[in-house]
Structure 1
C-alpha cells in the first residue's frame, strides 16, 4: 500500500511515517518503479505499535528498545517488564510535578483580587522563585 493508505491504516500522519523511517524506527520500504513507497501489513503493525507506545508516553528511544525486545525471541518478558516499570515510575513522578504545579497555580489564582496590571498578583508571583513544598 502507498504511504497515504499506510497513514490511514496505522493512524500515523504521513510526515510522522517519513520521520520514523529517517530515524530507523521503521525500515525503509521498497519502492515502485515510479518511486512510490510500498508498505506491508508488517509495516502497519509496526506503526501501530509505535503509535500505541507514544500514546502511553514512551519516548522514541524506549519504543526502539521495546521493538528490539519484541523482535528478539531470546529476550525474556522480564526485560519488557523492567522497562515498563521504569516508565511507570517516570509517569508517577511527572504526575507529582503536575500536581505541585497545579497547586501553586491555584494558590496564585486565589490570591488574585483583580485591580491594575501593575498590582497583579499572578504576574508578581511569576517573577518570584518557586516555593517548594516540604515533603
Structure 2
C-alpha cells in the first residue's frame, strides 16, 4: 500500500506517517526501486493504535516502549500495567484540575463580590487579604 492509501485509510497526514516511521514507531516499511515507500496492511492497525493512544494521553516515548514490533507478540501484562498507570495519571490530573477550578472560582467570586465603594486597588487588597496574601509578604511569612 502506498502512503497516500495509508493516509486515506487512517485519516493521518502522510507527513505524520513519515514522522512515525522516522522515530521508529512504524517499522514494517519497504521501498520500491523508485524510492516510494510501501506499507503492509498491518500498518493501518498500528497507526490507528498510535493515534488512539495519543488521544488517550500516551506520549510517543511511552508508545515506543509499549508497542511491540509485531502486534501478535504483545505483552499482555505490560499493556494492562501501562493502561492502569495511564488511568491513574489521568485521575491525578483530573483532581488537580478540579482543585484549580475550585480555587479560580473562589478567586472570581471574591473579586466579583467587590463592594460598590471600593476602587480596583482597594478591591485587590481585599481579595489578597481574603486569601491570606498580603502584598510584600511571601507565603512563608504567614
* TM-score strictly above 0.5: yes
Query: Does structure 1 retain, via aligned residues, the 8 Å contact 2:2–2:37?
Result: yes
Q: Which residue number corresponds to residue 7 of structure 1?
A: 7
Residue 119 of structure 1: CA displacement? 7.3
Displaced runs of 4 or more, over 6 A: 114-120
Query: Does structure 1 retain, via aligned residues, the 8 Å contact 2:2–2:39?
Result: yes
Q: TM-score, normalised by structure 2?
A: 0.69
Distance 1:45 1:112, change over 3 A: same
Distance 1:104 1:40 in 2: 51
Residue aligned with 1:43, SS: helix
Q: Which residue number corresponds to residue 87 of structure 1?
A: 86
Distance 1:67 1:41 in 2: 17
- Count of aligned positions: 123
Query: Does structure 1 retain, via aligned residues, the 8 Å contact 2:7–2:14?
Result: yes
The Cα RMSD (Å) is 3.0
Give structure 1 stretches of 5+ with no counterpart: none
Distance 2:39 2:66 in 1: 21
Give structure 2 stretches of 5+ with no counterpart: 134-138
Residue aligned with 1:57, SS: coil
Distance 1:119 1:35 in 2: 70
